[in-house]
Amino acid sequence: MSEKSKAKISWGTGILIGIIVFVVISVSMTIIFMMQDVNLVSDNYYEKSLVYQEEIDKQSRTKTLNEQVKINFNGEVVRILIPSEYLEKEISGEIFFYRPSNPKLDFVLPIHLVDGNQIIPVKRLEKGFWRVKLNWMMDSNGYYNERAITIE
């Protein structure tokens, strides 16, 4: 074979091929990223940030209680335990199950205590990481407890 029969790529052609490959990869990645589902922590995060001071006050008030409300999880049920010294008081509020990876699975239950307990079975919940947020009122004051759980 002679040297003239070998194909050579000039530097101009090499630069053009490099630019075309770069543009194709950039357009492909842009299309892929635009098709991804983006979940914010909260749809109305701005409004929630405005009432954040109230949440801080509730958490501070909760820490000053003589006995703390407990959120227990044993793998099958979430149990809310209200200390006996608060049982004679009017307690109301809600239990918020928050799934950071999929806000469509979030749900809220009202607090409905039986002898200072509320038991919530978790068998209907999807496996994975959850936050159980207890937002409750007692003596016209707001309180807040939270617990992270993993359902397997």
Closest CA to 123 of 77, 79, 81, 80: 77
* Interatomic CA distance for residues 71 and 149, integer angstroms: 10
Using only C-alpha atoms, the chain has a radius of gyration, in whole angstroms, of 28
pLDDT grade for 4, boundaries at 50, 70 and 90:
low
How many angstroms separate the most distant Cα atoms in the chain?
Answer: 102
pLDDT 10s digits, 94-134: 999 999 888 889 999 999 988 889 999 998 889 999 999 99
Task: Give the model's pLDDT for residue 38.
Answer: 67
32-91 pLDDT, tens per residue?
A: 999 887 665 566 666 667 777 888 889 999 999 889 999 999 989 999 998 888 888 889
Residue matched to tokens 């607090």: 111
